């Protein structure tokens, strides 16, 4: 563990606040005023309703408390679930729309990212997208034979792939400073609330898209090192849970994982249990990183480099989750790193800013031993 009012009415106007007593306001004028007020109230309600999702997103992204989260002290997820860690095959259901379109209507990406589309068999051959970062020198003819490791970065709940820019900016700075070798980064479309699993209703097979479609597509179309030893997954909040879920479920695909401000809750406190897992705690545990770590500690200890990062002022209660999981990993003899970032709340931007290029020393050791 390391710590680091109206102005133009006249006095005798029917709409004036001081009408002429000799000429009482007409009934039609009063009706008009009431109608106007009702319209204004309706407009206010519509605007307020439209602002709620944006407000929640900003609260989540800029370290305020998101609505719907449990406010009482959470129960610890001890990983002791004894049932099978399998779920029935879930067929894609195109009749149920995902929580966000598979393609971003804007089709844009903030620099230095690029918007990239690909066909996904997991959604019937439809196109979806990711954001792609290619390191400095990738397109230089002198590097035409060079191959690169890849980090997949998973965004948070209610957020978008574009919210991965703090991670990308930090990675770019670390590469330019020589703290890590040139590395490709990919940010999948995790929708609003996929948790990077296949949802029980078949509407959001995001896990299958990443595992079956995106990773093979990136390896086939870019100069990656197509080897688990050169592939890592990292994420923030929802994406941190998703990163742990994918790395622990598919250690044959990932050699390293970083979970930034991850929630490690029990299903009874997972506010989207019905939405994602049809209300089935066993389905939740089948994808839960804590349960998978408890179930197969020897495999993870041997094959996956594990890191957790969390601010000690995390408003969503995730700091306590991380403290507890750190102790469990130690108890289960699974080597890992745990960085506590003092004074920082639930904000990936603040965490990456505080850690600076040194945040990527974790990957430097993993990737440097591989030939390019």
- Band of residue 368 on the pLDDT scale cut at 50, 70, 90: confident
Q: Tens digit of pLDDT for each residue in 71-97?
A: 556 789 999 999 999 999 999 999 999
Contacts 24+ apart (CB under 8 A), 327-332: 328/78, 328/79, 328/290, 328/293, 328/294, 329/293, 332/293, 332/294, 332/297
- The conformation of residue 308, written as its DSSP 8-state character, comes to E
Predicted local confidence at residue 72, as pLDDT: 59
- Does pLDDT of 137 surpass 80? yes
Q: Tens digit of pLDDT for each residue in 205-243?
A: 999 999 999 999 999 999 999 999 999 999 999 999 999
Q: Per the structure block, which two tokens stand in for 81?
A: 């679930």
- Does pLDDT of 21 surpass 50? no
- Band of residue 6 on the pLDDT scale cut at 50, 70, 90: very low
Q: Per the structure block, which two tokens stand in for 82?
A: 């004894």
Predicted local confidence at residue 329, as pLDDT: 98
23-27, 91-95, 268-272, 307-311: the lowest-pLDDT one:
23-27
- Does pLDDT of 267 surpass 70? yes
In the chain, pLDDT over 90 holds for what percent of residues? 77
333, 280 contact by CB (below 8 A): no
Please report the sign of the dihedral spanned by the C-alpha atoms of residue 54, residue 59, residue 63, residue 69. negative
H-type alpha helices, the chain: 27-61, 165-176, 206-208, 215-221, 238-249, 273-277, 281-287, 289-295, 297-303, 318-331, 348-355, 361-368
Q: What is the mean pLDDT of the chain?
A: 86
Is pTM beyond 0.75? Reply is: yes
Predicted local confidence at residue 366, as pLDDT: 82
- Does pLDDT of 54 surpass 50? no
- Does pLDDT of 371 surpass 60? no
């Amino acid at each position: 563990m390391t710590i680091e009012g109206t102005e133009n009415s006249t006095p005798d106007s029917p709409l004036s606040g001081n009408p002429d007593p000799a000429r009482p306001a007409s009934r039609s004028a009063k009706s008009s005023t009431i109608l106007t007020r009702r319209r204004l109230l309706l407009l206010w309600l519509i605007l307020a309703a439209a602002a709620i999702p944006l407000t929640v997103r900003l609260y989540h992204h800029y370290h305020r408390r998101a609505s719907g989260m449990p406010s009482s002290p959470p129960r610890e997820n001890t990983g002791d679930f004894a049932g099978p860690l399998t779920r029935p095959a879930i067929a894609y259901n195109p009749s149920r729309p995902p929580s966000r379109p598979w393609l971003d209507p804007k089709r844009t990406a903030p620099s230095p990212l690029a918007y990239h589309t690909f066909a996904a068999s997991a959604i019937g051959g439809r196109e979806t997208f990711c954001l792609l970062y290619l390191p400095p020198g990738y397109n230089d003819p002198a590097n035409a034979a060079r191959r690169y490791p890849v980090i997949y970065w998973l965004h948070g709940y209610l957020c978008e792939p574009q919210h991965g820019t703090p991670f990308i900016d930090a990675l770019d700075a670390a590469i330019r400073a020589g703290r890590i070798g040139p590395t490709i980064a990919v940010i999948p479309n995790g929708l609003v609330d996929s948790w990077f699993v296949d949802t029980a209703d078949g509407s959001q097979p995001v896990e299958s898209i990443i595992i079956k479609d995106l990773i093979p597509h990136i390896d086939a179309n870019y100069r990656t090192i197509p080897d688990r030893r050169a592939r890592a997954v990292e994420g923030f909040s929802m994406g941190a849970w998703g990163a742990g879920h994918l790395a622990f479920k598919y250690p044959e695909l990932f050699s390293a994982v970083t979970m930034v401000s991850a929630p490690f809750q029990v299903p009874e406190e997972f506010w989207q249990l019905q939405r994602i897992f049809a209300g089935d705690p066993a389905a939740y545990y089948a994808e839960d990183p804590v349960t998978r770590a408890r179930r197969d500690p020897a495999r993870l200890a041997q094959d996956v480099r594990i890191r957790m990062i969390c601010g000690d002022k995390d408003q969503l209660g995730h700091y306590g989750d991380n403290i507890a999981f750190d102790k469990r990993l130690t108890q289960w003899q699974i080597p890992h790193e745990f960085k506590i970032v003092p004074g920082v709340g639930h904000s990936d931007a603040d965490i990456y800013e505080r850690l600076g290029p040194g945040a990527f020393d974790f990957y430097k050791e993993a990737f440097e031993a591989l030939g390019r």
